[in-house]
């Protein structure tokens, strides 16, 4: 059964379980239960639903881990992260291309753009599988300064580089920052390698 079918089944069970538990909790031919009995049955039902939700979340987490291991095995995994170190820069869009493949684009809501400004915040904008060797990566962004006038042109930049991938997981961090307080924001890259 494909993983997406498993997730759909888990979602259907999440809806059907409370109904089934309610039907089991209520006596079939008894007179109306007292308020205390109803409260106790409601509490038991709520506890069962919460336990089921916890199991469903654990299942989803495990399934996502298995899916990542299959689609992005560690020897081929490339993860690209982005951080913003320019106060007030609200991203609108980021685009990442590896080896001329179709670009992966992330559009930011106002909330997402503000979250990127948090101290030490990094977001994974791409996870893909690539073979060992040299690869070309291109990243570009567009955004707006928080205090910009509505008719101000968007700010943006792009960065292109070649990185070397070995047989280990590779992580690239791109930072949008200013070299000096008055300079234009630009992108820089850092390649992180796990220790042997």
- Whether residue 8 is predicted with pLDDT greater than 70 in this model: the reply is no
pLDDT in tens, 139-155: 999 999 999 898 899 99
pLDDT in tens, 147-194: 989 889 999 999 999 999 988 889 999 999 988 877 888 899 999 877
The percent of residues in the chain predicted with pLDDT above 90, rounded, is 50
pLDDT in tens, 42-69: 999 999 999 989 998 888 888 877 777 7
**What is residue 166's DSSP assignment?**
-
What's residue 27's pLDDT? 54
What are all long-range contacts of 118-122, with beta carbons under 8 Å and residues at least 24 apart?
Answer: 120/83, 121/83, 121/84, 122/81, 122/82, 122/83, 122/173
């Amino acid at each position: 059964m494909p993983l997406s079918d498993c997730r759909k089944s888990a979602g259907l069970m999440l809806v059907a379980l409370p109904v089934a538990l309610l039907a089991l909790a209520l006596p079939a031919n008894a007179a109306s239960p007292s308020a205390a009995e109803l409260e106790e049955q409601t509490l038991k039902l709520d506890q069962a639903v919460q336990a089921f939700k916890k199991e469903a979340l654990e299942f989803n987490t495990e399934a996502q881990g298995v899916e990542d291991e299959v689609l992005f095995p560690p020897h081929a995994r490339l993860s690209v992260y982005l951080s913003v170190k320019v106060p007030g820069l609200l991203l609108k869009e980021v685009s990442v291309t590896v080896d001329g493949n179709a670009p992966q684009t992330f559009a930011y809501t106002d909330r997402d753009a503000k979250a990127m400004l948090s101290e030490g915040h990094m977001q994974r904008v791409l996870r893909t599988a690539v073979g060992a060797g040299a690869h070309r990566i291109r990243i570009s962004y567009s955004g707006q300064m928080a205090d910009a006038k509505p008719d101000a042109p968007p700010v943006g930049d792009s960065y292109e580089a070649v990185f070397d991938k070995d047989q280990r997981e590779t992580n690239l961090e791109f930072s949008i920052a200013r070299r000096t307080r008055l300079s234009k924001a630009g992108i820089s890259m850092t390649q992180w390698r796990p220790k042997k």
